[in-house]
Amino acid sequence: MKNVSYVLFLPLVVFSFLLMGFVLPPEEDLVVNGGFETGDFMGWTLDELTESGFWGVYTGTPPPLLFPPPVGDYAAVTIQSDPDANILYQDIQLPVNSEITCSAIVYYVNEDTIMGMGSSESEAFSKGLVAADPGDVTAERVFVIGDGLSIDQPNQQYRVDIMDPDAPPFDTGAGVLMNLFQTLPGDPDELDYTTLNFDLTPYAGQTVRIRAAVVVTENPLHGAIDAVTCTWVPLARPIPTLSEWGLIAMAGVLGIVALLAIRRRKTAA
């Protein structure tokens, strides 16, 4: 008798779990290895214009970057010695009908010195691309906004963008959906941990690309990033599909039959 009751009671359990599936959505970080705690770039893609610089995963406080990883044991940083542009990116699928909130921590050390600038740097100042006069020996560092991420002219910057994944990886034009961070002429030599908070809800249901890019034509610019995360919650309870409604209806009918059967057995007893 008890075994029969358990079998008849099973549809009620199935019915309850089906309903819970529409009330309690899964909670997960949409970014894979956003803190680089695997010690490598699992989940990320790397690209560069030349082979003179690269993104690397680091731990501790290696010189000249004197900032340890802000979260966990690892973070990502660019190591450069010659003109180069290096990008790090990841494509993420955003859930439909959801509120998506994200954050990342960025920081940098710019080693570029303005003293002894050559003709290209002087020309950049005359065009308003740099903030300081080449003759001003009191200025120590400089950021230069060149043509996109090109290294064919003075260009010294660090930027983080949300991009269309179908755009070229080095694009800074129409493919950029949202610029989250960019160094500008006159910015300080170093930037301590800075949290970027951004909302990707307008892009729910789409795939977007998170990209960090560092371009140098002067001296090394060590751009770092860590703790990249995106979490989501549904804006409304999901509507079951026709097949899911069929399962719910079947479980409901079986549940009613089970209750009637149990009641009859109790009455007969």
Claim to verify: residue 106 and residue 132 sit in the same structural domain: yes
One domain, residues 128 and 257: no
User: Same structural domain for residues 137 and 198?
Assistant: yes
Which one-letter amino acid corresponds to residue 87? I
Residues 121 and 227 in one domain: yes
Cβ contact 244:18 at 8 Å: yes
Question: Within this chain, do residues 225 and 151 fall inside the same structural domain, yes or no?
Answer: yes
Q: Are residues 84 and 165 in the same domain?
A: yes
- Verify that 152 and 243 share a domain, yes or no: no
How is residue 203 annotated by DSSP? G
Q: Do residues 242 and 160 both lie within one domain? A: no
The helix/strand/coil state of 236 is coil
The three-state DSSP-derived secondary structure of 79-137 is: EECCCEEEEEEEEEECCCCEEEEEEEEEEEEECCCCCCCCHHHHHHHHCCCCCCCCCCC
Q: Do 140 and 251 belong together in one domain?
A: no
- In 3D, which of 68, 57, 86 has the Cα closest to residue 193? 68
Spell out the per-residue pLDDT of the chain, length 269, in tens: 444 444 444 555 444 544 444 444 555 899 999 999 999 999 999 999 998 899 999 999 988 788 999 999 999 999 987 899 999 999 999 999 999 999 999 999 998 654 333 334 444 444 444 444 444 433 456 899 999 999 999 999 999 999 999 999 999 999 999 999 999 999 999 999 999 999 999 999 999 999 999 999 988 999 999 999 999 999 875 555 556 555 555 555 555 655 666 666 666 65
Specify whether 254 is located in the same domain as 216.
no
* 115 and 199 part of one domain: yes
Q: In this structure, how many other beta carbons lie within 10 angstroms of the beta carbon of residue 31?
A: 19
CATH of residue 115: 2.60.120.260
Q: What are the backbone angles phi and psi of residue 218, rounded to the nearest 5°?
A: -105, -85
User: Residues 148, 179: contact at Cβ < 8 Å?
Assistant: no
Q: Which residues form the domain of 17?
A: 2-22+238-268
Same domain, 136 and 251: no
Number of domains in the chain: 2
Q: Where are the alpha helices (DSSP H) in the chain?
A: 2-23, 119-126, 242-268
